[in-house]
Structure 1
């Protein structure tokens, strides 16, 4: 026999955030926003709904990604446009810049905390994802790239996390080699991701026709280094007739020299460039405690794809769910010794509320005992009466009881006097 009541469950691939989860979430968010202010970035927010053509007309997402967006018709008479739950955070910010900020004569430093949505058929992975992000639009230089990496690293350090490492790549360098194979922009994306997924035989099939380009790509994917000198040595190995390779190398070397000056730990790893659909230059992946917690790069053509004028730009995202899982939750709680359960007689309500306000102003947590039941996880129980003595205080840890005639005496008993 079936149960009389159907069990209501949350949507697959979506998560409830418990009180503990939200402590972690807000801790990540607060550290990011504090760092954002120190770098001069202003917070913005874009809508959850965007027109589908924002992501399709400019080819800013791969066909595989677009097949996994949540889309539906936004009816307006008979000419409804198809809208989506935004699957990406950077593209809407680029639209915002092109629409409302491009006329400014100085770079836009923008930050945000937002969610995005991607369909995942099994429901075992997240369909809603939260991230902190920043975009620097209107300035293109190695110093701008280094600023973004420093901002991202300082945000993660502010969260109390250690063992931070940056892995570096360069989309311009990868595209320069892949384009010499005669591949279109979308074909380059597909080939590169398939190679990184282990299908290395694809390169072997192309070797006979384009040996120089294939050897150059194999060299990049098979080597790693931790200094700009490593890249300087690579310059002589690349043929001058592969378009853009030398320029891209010089650009990456200049950025790395600045990162060394910032004393950031990094590794040159071109396999870290997977998923570089709209990136045009420098790419980085950020790791903390061995976990990939963010990444970003340069996307100088994205604003032009939004219908505005081309503008140099770069940005990054930090993945809140991954960072939150690394946060030490113990440091986020107010100690039990600063939590009070307050039981107020109906005739002493004014005095009780005034005491609660006084304690809360010191940063303590005060919870009213409701229906005679004391609040949980409190280090102190206080009864407020209209008759003398006005206050009865119990130290829940030691069991010691005290009576007080006024609020100031009570503050002294709990250690605030």
Structure 2
């Protein structure tokens, strides 16, 4: 049997992992300015944490969960999304307590798992960046969090992003709309796709999100949820739009946009971009004011979003965005002969202790091959260390681009390299 990675997974190799590190570093830098802190939850949760929170009728639960019984006969699942685990943690760790600063704002990044047909930007193990903001019902929280997502995309270099918003209203809104939507869709029952027929009475709002061409044509004339908003939900949407405009954040309203999870209410949003003439969603989220109480906590409003990192990197590549991921080497030590082996070990270790990135030859290669490696690494400086240098203690540090040289001693370099490095790399 040929051992290969599981279908729908990828190996993130050197050369690619630096791109992930850049995205993650940008995430941490941008989110810190909004005072979000990192949270890390387990890769697997009790089945009920996911099934009850995201909705028993969602595709995630009915088709895509990696769930199983462990050796203790506990029903567990690999996490398919990040919000439910964070809410579970928020309640379990009593972060709603009065002494905890509010709003409670966290971000996370890590693997999620869904069993679906693998395709570009959609894998069975995928990677997500997400944020959750607990404690504020103020529409300014919606807009501030959306603005943070936009700032992140601007910083990583995504082009042509478009913000789309909608409102799912409150429970009263959705009940009234559900009745009207079912009545409309039943008139077209014979033309609906099999998936939409199944969803019609279980979760009719999901029909609006169907990718089937016939379904798309039908829902085009479906009643709009915006016509069913209560006064409170209408005011919340109006405030969100006003605040987005105050920040000069362009948006469009899509009355048929829904989210794939049942816990959302009022504001939902997506950021999209276009690749090869096709619109791709790269971020989605919204408000969920009942989820904390559903987990046994007090009534606590929440707002968050998720970003697919795999898809984001695919978009950046397709848009030709060059990420600053190169890691030039400070020093390459050319080692000539076995007699210099120990001295080279001591030299590179002393330079690394001083904070320099250093590489050396350990394969006893010819000098020409070692210089070629220095070029491939993009080494700023080269030190050649052979028997003569070890015996005399005298050494030359050479600029790998200009070929400028500085003569010094091994002992000086090992104790204080800063002055030598500054001199040899000066313009």
Structure 2 contact 209–256 (Cα < 8 Å) conserved: no
Equivalent runs, 1:401-416 vs 2, <5 Å: 404-406=407-409, 407=413, 411=421, 414-415=424-425
Structure 1 contact 120–127 (Cα < 8 Å) conserved: yes
Matched, 1:366 2:358: yes
TM-score (norm. length: structure 1): 0.78
Change beyond 3 A, Cα 1:289–1:189: closer
Change beyond 3 A, Cα 1:405–1:107: closer
- Higher mean C-alpha displacement, 50-59 vs 174-183: 174-183
Q: How far did residue 181 of structure 1 move? A: 2.2
Structure 2 CA distance, aligned partners of 1:279 and 1:355? 59
Structure-1 residue corresponding to 2:241: 256
Q: How far did residue 90 of structure 1 move? A: 0.6
- Higher mean C-alpha displacement, 6-15 vs 83-92: 6-15
Structure 1 CA distance, aligned partners of 2:5 and 2:67? 20
Structure 1 contact 296–316 (Cα < 8 Å) conserved: yes
Aligned to 2:93, which of 94, 100, 103?
Answer: 100
Structure 2 CA distance, aligned partners of 1:157 and 1:345? 51
Q: How far did residue 197 of structure 1 move? A: 5.6
CA displacement 1:144-198 (0-9 Å, x = unmatched): 1012111111122222334333111112188365323275984223332238764
Structure-2 residue corresponding to 1:18: 13
Aligned to 2:67, which of 66, 71, 95?
Answer: 71
Q: How far did residue 269 of structure 1 move? A: 2.1
Structure-1 residue corresponding to 2:209: 193
CA displacement 1:273-314 (0-9 Å, x = unmatched): 342522111011113566432121001111222232331111
Structure 1 CA distance, aligned partners of 2:344 and 2:142? 56
Change beyond 3 A, Cα 1:318–1:90: same
Structure 2 contact 399–425 (Cα < 8 Å) conserved: no
SS at match of 2:131: strand
CA displacement 1:357-416 (0-9 Å, x = unmatched): 565578653111012233451344422231337335565556x58573424686366316
Structure-1 residue corresponding to 2:34: 39
Structure 1 contact 280–300 (Cα < 8 Å) conserved: yes
Equivalent runs, 1:208-287 vs 2, <5 Å: 214-216=222-224, 238=227, 242=228, 244-287=229-272
Structure 2 contact 259–268 (Cα < 8 Å) conserved: no
- Higher mean C-alpha displacement, 35-44 vs 282-291: 282-291
Structure 2 CA distance, aligned partners of 1:68 and 1:342? 53
Structure 2 CA distance, aligned partners of 1:159 and 1:123? 23
SS at match of 2:19: helix
CA displacement 1:16-49 (0-9 Å, x = unmatched): 0011221111111111111121111121111011
SS at match of 2:425: coil
Aligned to 1:82, which of 62, 75, 80?
Answer: 75
Change beyond 3 A, Cα 1:215–1:357: same
Structure-2 residue corresponding to 1:133: 130
Structure 2 CA distance, aligned partners of 1:97 and 1:330? 35
Structure 1 CA distance, aligned partners of 2:361 and 2:43? 40
Structure 1 CA distance, aligned partners of 2:218 and 2:303? 31
Change beyond 3 A, Cα 1:18–1:388: same
Structure 2 contact 208–257 (Cα < 8 Å) conserved: no
Structure 2 CA distance, aligned partners of 1:295 and 1:186? 23
SS at match of 1:149: helix
Structure 2 CA distance, aligned partners of 1:312 and 1:157? 28
Structure 1 CA distance, aligned partners of 2:155 and 2:148? 10
Change beyond 3 A, Cα 1:410–1:200: closer
Structure 2 CA distance, aligned partners of 1:137 and 1:215? 32
Structure-2 residue corresponding to 1:235: none
Structure-2 residue corresponding to 1:295: 284
SS at match of 2:29: helix
RMSD: 3.3
Structure-2 residue corresponding to 1:234: none
TM-score (norm. length: structure 2): 0.77
